[in-house]
Structure 1
Amino acid sequence: MRNNILIIESSNKKIDLLKNLIYREFSRKKTIIHTSIDIESSLNVVENYYIDLIIINLSLNSEKILETLIKINNLTSDRQFKIPLLIYNGLKDKHIIKKSFELGAIDYFFDKLESEDISYLFSLKIKNSLKICNYNNNLIKQNNQNKKQLKLATILQKSLMINKKVLPSIEVFGRYIPSTEIGGDSYDAIDTDGKTWFMIADVMGHGASAAMVSFMVKALFNQLANIHKTPKTLLNEINRTYYKMFENKSDIIFSIFVGTIYKNKLTYSSAGHPYPIFYNSQDKTTHFLDNNNILIGIVPHSNFSQKSQMISKGDIIYLYTDGLYEQIPEMRDINLINNYIKLNHKLLINSPDIFTNNIIKEFTNNEEIEDDIAILALKKK
């Protein structure tokens, strides 16, 4: 990587001195030095090269040079870091000094460059300034790579989170709103040999690590649903596999609710997940699908329990993560979700997706969310 340095100086003697200082620290093959004595030529250099460092003699015309630097900053406004400046000047004008640092000055010298001590110090400043610039450039590259990877992960996660899906025995409506670009909530519903499996999970934390675990949870669910017969045995295996995979070195744990619908029977098991709400379409009542078990990833072995009940055509299972009801402190109560369903059950029956839009608006108060929100509504056909 070559260093591009711009010297704004009218004295050929000082230009030669600065070049010698620069070449003392860096080889000529790795360094390109540009020189300028006026605004136009300075701007032309900045437009055509990625400048890593500007060295300026402000005594040429302080106000004019500051005007030049302002224009340079405007030209490079898309850069994530300002071009570092090394300034030398015989003037001790506080306004000029203050403005120089605002425009990106790393250091400001009052002494003459011809001084042996100052020239030695100046060469070190040049070296350190370029180190900072190279570090910033590498940081920008890494940041851009991370953004690309994050964008890809966001697209992947959204593609895996179904909005609508029709299975042989149920209609599926989903909604996912991460608090950052990607998050740790996930849900799914699949059919295996006439049996409907569904799940919703909430991984502790946010960002890439939580998202990676959520991908793994979803994959494990899809794989194990074809092997296990009941929700509790599936949760036992998910817990055992997850714990063994990290050998108790991960502090990421998660809640998950798993259920099956086979003919008119609903069977479910939960690992510390908020209770889903069951809406009975016949008598228009609601109740929680309560089941208490430990979160996944805390202990290597856990004997999960499960419950069963009947489910009929038109009945709805409404699942959610705690991000829905924990956005507003005074609303941190799942009973509020139950009450909202009771008051708006007709909309839930006729249009689960519109109902979900409304409940999100109601419970988040249209504010920026602090935790991921995942909602899964299942309607028996």
Structure 2
Amino acid sequence: MDKTMKLDAANYKDLLKHYIETRDEQSLYGVEQVSKSFISNNILPEEIINLHIQALSDIYPNLSEEFQHSMDFLLEAMISYGLAHQEFQVLREEQMTMKSEISVAASMQDSLLHTTKPEIDGLDIGVISVPAHQMNGDYHHFIKGKDGSIGITIADVIGKGIPAALCMSMIKYSMESYPEESMYPKAILKNLNRVVERNVDASMFITMLHAQYLPTENTLQYASAGHEPGFFYNSETKVFEEITAKGLLLGVLPDTDYKQYERKLHKGDMVVLLTDGVTESKDGERFIEREEVLDVISQYAHLPAQEMVNRVYKHFERMQDFQLRDDFTLLILKKDV
């Protein structure tokens, strides 16, 4: 026992004796100070119990044998507690380190995958992407061409966390390296599929829908790699239609061709692109129907696109008690002229 422990032991015994005799709360304050000393000197719980037993034995040398046994039992319990507590502290420190690393990775992801929502005449764009946890497995990106066209990508990684974020950053910079004349949706997906198949772990796949809006022709060209079907809203019929576009997930087979589709957009038409975190929202224990998503979108169809997606997200966030089950990404294009 070192000098500090000896001083604390003597002080502890005096405080204990004084409290037993007087029930004076000042003694409890003194114990608080001794406890701080124990913490600063890394005194283990079983050492404190042993100190208490020794103090009692000095004060009351004729303690009953039963009481002494009970204190021995408490000492053994505290030894087990001390070992468990040490393990817990180690795990907690590792967890804090991991949280810190994930926080840094999430910040890097925001920086690497940052995209600017473009301004384009005749098209109102709204987008929201909220991760269920710190890292976002969803991805969206805009590329504005010199001819005024706009490339629009929405994707979901099957496989989350830091590897997914790194995978998405690779995809983003691959897309931005392609020459503008090869930015057609089917060409983009074919090239990205080759990149993913060669460079991404076989356990990780990516669903993606890439579209290109041509303002001079009021046309949306698009292709899908197994991505969650979105919707077209026809302003004339006031009906939502599911986007029909089929294609294999990125990274499954090396030489995959993707079919390209085309759709004319007229004033008041909308394009709704999303990830399964939207369509697989839960109301209690029940997964919602896709029609319910459209009903909510319809409620806010009169609003600007960005306010629309914000309101839709808030609706489903409240419905799920503010605990997302999956990453939530919703992108809406409104043809306003």
Task: Report the TM-score, using the length of structure 2 for normalisation.
Answer: 0.73
Question: Which position in structure 2 is the counterpart of 1:30?
Answer: none
CA contact (8 A) 2:126 2:308 kept: no
CA contact (8 A) 2:159 2:205 kept: no
1:211 and 2:176 matched: no
Question: Which position in structure 2 is the counterpart of 1:253?
Answer: 205
Question: Which position in structure 2 is the counterpart of 1:43?
Answer: 35
> AA paired with 1:356?
V
CA contact (8 A) 2:49 2:75 kept: no
1:60 Cα deviation from its structure 2 partner: 4.2
- The correspondence for 2:197, drawn from 229, 243, 249, is 243
Question: Which position in structure 1 is the counterpart of 2:26?
Answer: none
Cα separation, 2, equivalents of 1:94 and 1:351: 72
Cα separation, 2, equivalents of 1:203 and 1:225: 25
Question: Which position in structure 2 is the counterpart of 1:311?
Answer: 265
1:106 and 2:83 matched: yes
1:374 and 2:329 matched: yes
> AA paired with 1:260?
Q
Give the match's secondary structure for 2:150. Answer: strand
Mapping of residues 338-377 of structure 1, within 5 Å: 338-341=294-297, 343-344=298-299, 347-363=300-316, 365-367=319-321, 368-377=323-332
Runs of 5+ unmatched residues, structure 1? 11-33, 66-89, 108-128
Question: Which position in structure 2 is the counterpart of 1:93?
Answer: 70
In structure 2, the CA distance between the partners of 1:95 and 1:226, relative to structure 1 (3 Å rule), is: farther
Cα separation, 1, equivalents of 2:8 and 2:181: 72
CA contact (8 A) 2:116 2:142 kept: no
In structure 2, the CA distance between the partners of 1:287 and 1:60, relative to structure 1 (3 Å rule), is: closer
Structure having the larger proportion of residues in strand: 1
Cα separation, 2, equivalents of 1:170 and 1:266: 11
C-alpha distance after superposition, 1:151-184 (max 9, x if no partner): 2333344464568542356332111121111120
Cα separation, 2, equivalents of 1:101 and 1:55: 5
1:140 Cα deviation from its structure 2 partner: 5.5
1:93 Cα deviation from its structure 2 partner: 0.7
Give the match's secondary structure for 2:320. Answer: coil
Cα separation, 2, equivalents of 1:303 and 1:251: 21
Cα separation, 2, equivalents of 1:63 and 1:311: 86
Question: Which position in structure 2 is the counterpart of 1:195?
Answer: 149
In structure 2, the CA distance between the partners of 1:46 and 1:317, relative to structure 1 (3 Å rule), is: farther
1:302 Cα deviation from its structure 2 partner: 0.9
In structure 2, the CA distance between the partners of 1:45 and 1:38, relative to structure 1 (3 Å rule), is: same
Runs of 5+ unmatched residues, structure 2? 13-30, 57-66
1:281 and 2:235 matched: yes
CA contact (8 A) 1:165 1:171 kept: no
Cα separation, 1, equivalents of 2:74 and 2:184: 73
> AA paired with 1:370?
R
Paired-residue identity, %: 21
Larger RCO: Structure 1 or Structure 2 (Cα < 8 Å, ≥ 6 residues apart)?
A: 2
In structure 2, the CA distance between the partners of 1:352 and 1:230, relative to structure 1 (3 Å rule), is: same
Cα separation, 2, equivalents of 1:172 and 1:149: 34
Cα separation, 2, equivalents of 1:163 and 1:98: 63
1:184 and 2:140 matched: no
In structure 2, the CA distance between the partners of 1:48 and 1:250, relative to structure 1 (3 Å rule), is: same
CA contact (8 A) 2:229 2:243 kept: yes
> AA paired with 1:93?
S
In structure 2, the CA distance between the partners of 1:378 and 1:35, relative to structure 1 (3 Å rule), is: same
Structure having the larger proportion of residues in helix: 2
> AA paired with 1:374?
T
Question: Which position in structure 2 is the counterpart of 1:31?
Answer: none
In structure 2, the CA distance between the partners of 1:378 and 1:91, relative to structure 1 (3 Å rule), is: same
Give the match's secondary structure for 2:329. Answer: strand
CA contact (8 A) 1:161 1:174 kept: no
C-alpha distance after superposition, 1:22-42 (max 9, x if no partner): xxxxxxxxxxxx975444674
Aligned alpha-carbon RMSD (Å):
3.7
- The correspondence for 1:56, drawn from 39, 43, 47, is 47
C-alpha distance after superposition, 1:205-258 (max 9, x if no partner): 332222332333333333337362310111011010111113xx4301111000
- The correspondence for 2:292, drawn from 336, 360, 363, is 336
CA contact (8 A) 1:6 1:35 kept: no
- The correspondence for 2:125, drawn from 163, 169, 172, is 172
Cα separation, 1, equivalents of 2:71 and 2:116: 61
C-alpha distance after superposition, 1:311-362 (max 9, x if no partner): 2344321111011121226444434333444x42xx3242333332343344
1:99 Cα deviation from its structure 2 partner: 9.2
Give the match's secondary structure for 1:275. Answer: coil
CA contact (8 A) 2:142 2:151 kept: yes
Question: Which position in structure 1 is the counterpart of 2:61?
Answer: none
CA contact (8 A) 1:268 1:307 kept: yes
Cα separation, 1, equivalents of 2:333 and 2:54: 70
Cα separation, 1, equivalents of 2:44 and 2:2: 6
CA contact (8 A) 2:156 2:275 kept: yes
